[in-house]
Amino acid sequence: MVQSKSAHHQKLCVKIFNYLKKLRKSTSSLDVHETDFMNISKSPQAGVKAEELYEF
């Protein structure tokens, strides 16, 4: 079964958001807000970039 791009993108955004939340817990100097997640979810390129950087 082939996933639609939007479904894959949505799952990816959730992974990124969870990663950012973990990062925020481990790094006090870094602030991650829901707005950052919204920006990522609106930008497919940001999702792809993050996927390349963090290799989910």
Q: pLDDT tens for residues 19-46? A: 877 776 665 544 555 566 666 666 656 5
- What is the percentage of the chain residues whose pLDDT exceeds 90? 0
Do residues 16 and 40 lie in contact, with contact meaning Cβ atoms separated by under 8 Å? yes
Q: How many CB atoms lie within 10 A of CB 39?
A: 11
Q: Which residue has the higher pLDDT, 29 or 12?
A: 12
* Domain ranges, residue 48: 12-54
Q: Tell me the whole-structure pTM to 2 decimals.
A: 0.36
Assess if residue 31 is contained within a domain.
yes
User: Is 33 a domain residue?
Assistant: yes
Count of domains observed in the chain? 1
In a domain, 2, yes or no: no
